[in-house]
Structure 1
Amino acid sequence: MYDYHCHTTLSDGSMLPIELIRRMSVLGYRSVAISDHVDATNLEVVIGAVSRLKRSASLFDVDLLCGVEITHVPPEEIPGIAREARELGAEVVLVHGETVVEPVAEGTNAAAVSSPDVDILAHPGFLSHADAIIAAENGVFLEITSRNGHNRMNGHVLGMARETGCGLVIQSDAHDPRDLLDRDAKWLVGRGAGMTEAEVEKAMQYKMDSVNRF
């Protein structure tokens, strides 16, 4: 069990980082990234804070990866922020994609999938076929999300992934305890998006590490 898109009090979540880890541990998760919202102002603070939690997470049998979700940053600045995140120690880099329920700048998806430092494009909304092709070529995974509002486009994202060969991850984008998914709930998110059982099973097997990524 993995989830690389979780938020805490380091940005707009309601859980302390260690509370999130404990709750994930009880649900059976062994690989987790805290990926709070970042821009140029808080990048170093968030990465440093999560890095200090690694030992505590290991005592709950959770492999904690230091993540970030680059959010509402001008597309032109996304590659630089992603590269800086890596240099500061981020092990998982997400970009907050062009969801249909927030005013994300046009061009964010394209900037994200073109960056060699981005791992996951979160809730990308009306992802274009051209951007999906680039994501597949660069190994940027697309997110199937349970997050209310963002999940409206799961079917479209799945279609783009099937057409282009993009990898898919199923994630919670959790901000509160009620957002966390047990295995059955995670399975239903994938199936509800239209994924086959085989596609869900494949998506649920992915695991990241700080060296080899997916």
Structure 2
Amino acid sequence: MLPAELVRRAEDIGYEAIALTDHADSSNLDWIVPRLVQVCRDLNRHRPIRAVSGIELTHLPPEMMAAMMKEARGLGAQIVVVHGETLVEPVCPGTNREAIEAGADILAHPGLITEEEVLRAKEKNVFLEITARKGHSLGNGHVARLAKKIGARLILNTDTHTPDNLISLKFALKVVRGAGLEAEDLQRMIENSRELLSRLR
């Protein structure tokens, strides 16, 4: 799906903003980020929805994380997401910790994240993801429980790869309740998203 189509589809169902965060490692980071920066700039001139350029650093050895994050930001990525230790993929152990320490904006689907890591996310102001994506969402309840216990901040994401992955507010509430949270938690996550957007250049 082209970025322009994704943004238009999101606009059509009522989104105020959408971050375009394609998967990257060192093979494609320098190709993807400048193009997302350009298309977001173009679309933002003509559409009311705000398109945000980002990247999802994926399956990196943890030792590469900090340098790749710095490179992504240098190339113009407004949001850096890290593909966390989801239950359904063999993500390198230590990814969650390194993503937090390196200062990711969002740690996506962090699976069985530890209490210590959640505490560090709180201290470093890294948002932890509650995801609507099948498979990755298996860890939502664990992430939600620890975040509530420790006071870390959550953010709801769709992890959209195809048009049917975009969700309505009604379905977002189902995802949140499925994670053991309530409507007020969803509202807080929406506010967290707006705060993240307000920080961006």
TM-score range (shorter-chain normalised) is over 0.9
CA distance in 1, matches of 2:120, 2:71: 22
Structure 2 residue identity aligned to 1:115:
A
CA distance in 2, matches of 1:57, 1:16: 15
Structure 1 position 58, deviation (Å): 4.1
Is the counterpart of residue 67 in structure 1 residue 54 in structure 2? Answer: yes
Matches within 5 A, 1:1-214: 15-54=1-40, 55-116=42-103, 118-205=104-191, 206-207=193-194, 208-209=196-197, 212-213=199-200
Q: Secondary structure at the match of 2:199?
A: coil
Q: 1:126–1:156: 8 Å Cα contact kept in structure 2?
A: yes
Structure 1 position 142, deviation (Å): 0.4
Unaligned runs of 5+ in 2: none
Structure 1 residue identity aligned to 2:172:
K
Structure 1 position 83, deviation (Å): 0.9
Structure 1 position 157, deviation (Å): 0.2
CA distance in 1, matches of 2:66, 2:49: 30
Aligned residues: 197
Identical aligned pairs, as a percentage?
39
CA distance in 1, matches of 2:190, 2:43: 25
CA distance in 1, matches of 2:17, 2:184: 21
Larger helix proportion of the pair:
2
Unaligned runs of 5+ in 1: 1-14
The alignment's C-alpha RMSD in Å is: 1.2
CA distance in 1, matches of 2:174, 2:45: 29
Structure 2 residue identity aligned to 1:37:
H
Q: RCO higher in 1 or 2 (8 Å CA, sep ≥ 6)? A: 1
CA distance in 1, matches of 2:14, 2:178: 22
